[in-house]
């Protein structure tokens, strides 16, 4: 086995290459591997061949399409990013919890209907994107994502790639881990609240002893709260099984401490297993309570509960992942070099008190320093990020179980250097029954020396690994801004997007309802309706012209502009920007969008199209004439 220093010195000197300096060395790291696969020093020719092979793997030529959609959480940008895989080209950004002036998200009335019209929260912290399922397979309908910063969960329609619902989770703070019920379909969105708080949280009690957090279920169809379960400790990450009966969460800070030292006091923390069927039955039977002003049913899952079991695992576990064959929950140790493999078909006996808590553990393989998250290739292998080692460890689950039972096996197949300190990883289709073992994305938290320097704030580094063969091959570096955190990959044929809007799309139903009250037909409207100091301006757009090119209002009027894009060609989106009024929005083909603002000081204000639509795009505009009140 070659040491890292020997590998670094094995690059041909005349080429000026090293494992750290040469981007192609990412391919070499896969071809040779951190475990030193093969003993011969690579020649300059073989090195170049490895690089070329790596480049060919990710090349998607002009006019060709990627095989997968990748959805990346936008971290503290509060958005979701859409990438093509394997090209790793960014295709779109979907604003969710943020304000986006390009599309008008957070500015238009339609987006404020989703976000709330009070503008209380202008930020978000997105962590975990997950796609709705039917029978354990992606159905391509919705993507759900959390906002840890403001305790919310959002739903994105994948046919139009727009956010359509946001739910505020009551009684808790900081939604972190989020996963979906896999079978028979995504009935629930399960989400973890991380931090303990007193109840009621009204300043009457600040003690940690009387504080707790909850595991939460949202109705995926309505985005209304279904129920909540009180738990012991801080909840971290989670996943659900392939029966619809169980879900499990990692749980740290069993000590309920407010200090770093205090959270390390106990020898072990837990994986909390939730019995969904028992919780549903209790709620249906009315065996629940409510808290404060919230009407959400709450059941108590602390201690010796009929709803939960607390399986002891090494300190401060982090990721929790379900193998695609549905057999195992795998909890990642973080402060232990091990992962804990929980056999799911033992959980019935556990809840019937026929076996002990630790009897559900069938393996605890030692993988390396700082295991955080595990993903799968569908061939019996798991891939775990090692944060401190800056590596991905490929290991075989069946061999790890044999080793745990006393039959010594070499369950670790390979370790691959990544750059640097990886957090989440995600393999293609890995959260579904269809895990295909083609690509692995690793989201590394640090990127020093990988890209051109850009000042004190560095990008992070998303890396793409080919896992289609026996050896992992690192084939792509991609800088990413503002902690993308996690991603999910789905085959392109599993999503059916619209090229133009349907005219009855529910996203602008409120605009149509107002137009009907005003006796207006949106598709043919170019009219101004005055209602006291409220003015509603209806206009159409057909490239390169607005149907209304001038309208008058008075200073201080509340002005709402409705624009209906009558173009029916898929590329012809329009924009509407009112100069010096903080107004900007996108109106795609056959869409209606609206925005409300207060008319400024008397004078002339131009509005214009901000999305290129025609050779005469620059000429597409109009004037708002503001008179003295």
DSSP string, 422-459: EEEEEETTTTSTT---SEEEEEES--TTTS---SSS--
Cα dihedral 498/499/501/506 (nearest 10): 20
The pLDDT tens digits of the residues spanning 111-137 come to 999 999 988 999 999 999 999 999 999
Question: What is the pLDDT, as a whole number, of residue 55?
Answer: 72
The pLDDT tens digits of the residues spanning 150-173 come to 999 999 999 999 999 999 999 999
Rounded Cα distance, 424 and 384, in Å: 9
User: Which residue ranges form the domains of the chain, and what is each CATH number?
Assistant: 4-57 (no CATH), 506-627 (2.60.40.420)
Question: What is the pLDDT, as a whole number, of residue 52?
Answer: 72
Rounded Cα distance, 417 and 624, in Å: 59
Question: What is the pLDDT, as a whole number, of residue 119?
Answer: 86
Question: What is the pLDDT, as a whole number, of residue 48?
Answer: 65
- Predicted confidence band of residue 204 (pLDDT cuts 50, 70, 90): very high
When pLDDT is averaged across residues 92-96 and rounded to a whole number, the result is 98
The angle at the Cα of 327, spanning 322 to 333, to the nearest 5 degrees, equals 45
When pLDDT is averaged across residues 345-358 and rounded to a whole number, the result is 98
pLDDT of 57 above 90: no
Question: What is the pLDDT, as a whole number, of residue 1?
Answer: 32
Residue 297: count other Cβ atoms within 10 Å of its Cβ.
20
- Predicted confidence band of residue 24 (pLDDT cuts 50, 70, 90): very low
- Predicted confidence band of residue 44 (pLDDT cuts 50, 70, 90): low
The pLDDT tens digits of the residues spanning 498-518 come to 999 999 999 999 999 999 999
Range of weakest confidence among 56-60, 237-241, 377-381: 56-60
pLDDT of 7 above 60: no
The β-bridge partners of 497 are none
Got the DSSP string for 489-520? EEEGGG----SS--TT-GGGHHHHHHHHHTT-
Cα-based distances in Å from 88 to 463, 479, 525: 9, 10, 42
The answer to whether the pTM exceeds 0.95 is no
Q: With CA atoms as reference, report the closest residue to 174 among 202, 147, 199.
A: 147
pLDDT of 618 above 60: yes
Q: Look up residue 234 and give its two tokens.
A: 């801080």
Q: Widest CA span of the chain, in angstroms?
A: 88
Question: What is the pLDDT, as a whole number, of residue 554?
Answer: 98
Question: What is the pLDDT, as a whole number, of residue 41?
Answer: 52
When pLDDT is averaged across residues 199-210 and rounded to a whole number, the result is 92
Q: Look up residue 596 and give its two tokens.
A: 């409300």
Question: What is the pLDDT, as a whole number, of residue 25?
Answer: 36
- Predicted confidence band of residue 50 (pLDDT cuts 50, 70, 90): low
Q: Are 584 and 611 in contact (CB under 8 A)?
A: no
Rounded Cα distance, 321 and 239, in Å: 6
Question: What is the pLDDT, as a whole number, of residue 10?
Answer: 33
- Predicted confidence band of residue 201 (pLDDT cuts 50, 70, 90): very high
When pLDDT is averaged across residues 26-42 and rounded to a whole number, the result is 39
Cα-based distances in Å from 156 to 110, 133, 170, 176, 216: 14, 14, 21, 18, 19
Task: Tell me, rounded to whole angstroms, the distance of Cα 309 from its chain centroid.
Answer: 28
Cα-based distances in Å from 608 to 112, 119, 550, 597, 621: 22, 26, 12, 16, 4
Cβ density class 279-290: b for 16+ within 10 Å, e for less: beebbeeeebee
Rounded Cα distance, 142 and 157, in Å: 5
- Predicted confidence band of residue 46 (pLDDT cuts 50, 70, 90): low
On the 0-12 / 13-18 / 19+ scale of CB atoms within 10 A, 540 is buried
Question: What is the pLDDT, as a whole number, of residue 15?
Answer: 34
Rounded Cα distance, 330 and 271, in Å: 10
pLDDT of 413 above 70: yes
The pLDDT tens digits of the residues spanning 462-501 come to 999 999 999 999 999 999 998 889 999 999 999 999 999 9
Handedness of CA 306, 308, 312, 316 (dihedral sign): negative
Q: With CA atoms as reference, report the closest residue to 622 among 583, 591, 588.
A: 583
Mean pLDDT of all residues in the chain? Answer: 92
Could you tell me what percent of the chain has a pLDDT over 90?
88
Residue 219: count other Cβ atoms within 10 Å of its Cβ.
14
The pLDDT tens digits of the residues spanning 539-596 come to 999 999 999 999 999 999 999 999 999 999 999 999 999 999 999 999 999 999 999 9
């Amino acid at each position: 086995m070659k040491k890292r220093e020997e590998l670094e010195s094995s690059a041909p000197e005349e080429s000026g290459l090293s494992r750290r300096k040469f981007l192609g060395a990412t391919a070499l790291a896969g071809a040779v591997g951190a475990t030193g696969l093969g003993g011969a020093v690579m020649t300059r020719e073989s090195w170049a061949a490895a690089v070329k092979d790596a480049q060919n793997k990710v090349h998607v030529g002009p006019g060709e399409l990627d095989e997968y959609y990748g959805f990346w959480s936008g971290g503290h940008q509060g958005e979701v990013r859409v990438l093509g895989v394997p090209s790793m080209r960014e295709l779109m950004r979907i604003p969710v919890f943020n304000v986006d002036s390009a599309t008008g998200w957070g500015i238009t009335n339609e987006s404020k209907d989703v976000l709330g019209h009070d503008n209380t929260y202008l930020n978000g912290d997105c962590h975990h994107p997950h796609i709705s399922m039917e029978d354990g397979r992606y159905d391509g309908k919705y993507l759900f994502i959390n906002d840890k910063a403001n305790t919310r969960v959002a739903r994105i329609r994948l046919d139009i790639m727009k956010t359509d619902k946001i739910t505020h989770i009551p009684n808790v703070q900081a939604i972190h881990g989020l996963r979906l019920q896999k079978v028979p379909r995504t009935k629930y969105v399960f989400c973890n609240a991380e931090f303990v708080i007193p109840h009621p949280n009204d300043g009457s009690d600040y003690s940690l002893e009387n504080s707790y957090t909850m595991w939460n279920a949202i109705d995926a169809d309505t985005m209304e709260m279904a129920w909540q379960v009180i738990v012991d400790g801080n909840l971290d990450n989670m996943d659900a099984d392939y029966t619809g009966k169980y879900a499990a969460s990692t749980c740290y800070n069993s000590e309920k401490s407010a200090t770093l030292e205090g959270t390390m006091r106990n020898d072990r923390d837990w994986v909390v297993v939730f019995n969904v069927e028992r919780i549903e039955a209790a709620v249906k039977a009315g065996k629940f309570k409510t808290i404060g002003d919230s009407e959400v049913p709450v059941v108590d899952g602390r201690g010796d509960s009929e709803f939960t079991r607390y399986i002891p695992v090494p300190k401060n576990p982090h990721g929790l992942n379900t193998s695609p064959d549905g057999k195992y929950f795998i909890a990642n140790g973080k402060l232990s070099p091990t992962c804990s493999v929980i056999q799911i078909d033992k959980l019935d006996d556990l809840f019937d008190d026929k076996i002990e808590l630790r009897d559900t553990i069938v393996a605890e393989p030692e993988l390396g320093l700082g295991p955080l998250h595990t993903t799968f290739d569908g061939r019996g292998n798991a891939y775990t990020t090692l944060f401190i080692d800056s590596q991905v460890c490929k290991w075989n689950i069946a061999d790890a179980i044999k080793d745990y039972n006393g039959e010594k096996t070499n369950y670790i197949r390979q370790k691959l250097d990544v750059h640097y300190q990886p957090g989440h990883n995600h393999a293609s289709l890995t959260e579904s029954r269809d895990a295909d073992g083609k690509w692995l994305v690793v989201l590394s938290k640090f990127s020093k020396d990988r890209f051109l320097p850009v000042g004190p704030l560095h990008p992070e580094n998303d890396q793409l690994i080919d896992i289609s063969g026996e050896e992992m091959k690192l084939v792509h570096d991609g800088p990413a801004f503002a902690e993308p955190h996690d991603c999910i990959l789905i085959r392109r044929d599993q999503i059916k997007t619209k090229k133009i809007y349907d005219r009855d799309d529910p996203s602008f139903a409120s605009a149509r309802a107002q137009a009907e009250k005003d006796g207006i037909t949106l598709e043919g409207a170019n009219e101004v309706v005055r209602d006291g100091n409220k003015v509603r301006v209806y206009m159409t757009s057909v490239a390169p012209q607005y149907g209304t090119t001038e309208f008058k209002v008075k200073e201080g009027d509340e002005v709402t502009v409705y624009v209906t894009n009558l173009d029916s060609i898929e590329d012809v989106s329009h924009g509407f920007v009112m100069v010096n009024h903080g107004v900007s929005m996108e109106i795609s083909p056959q869409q209606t969008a609206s925005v409300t603002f207060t008319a400024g000081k008397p004078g002339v204000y131009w509005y214009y199209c901000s999305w290129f639509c025609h050779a005469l795009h620059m000429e597409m505009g109009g004037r708002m004439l503001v008179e003295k009140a």
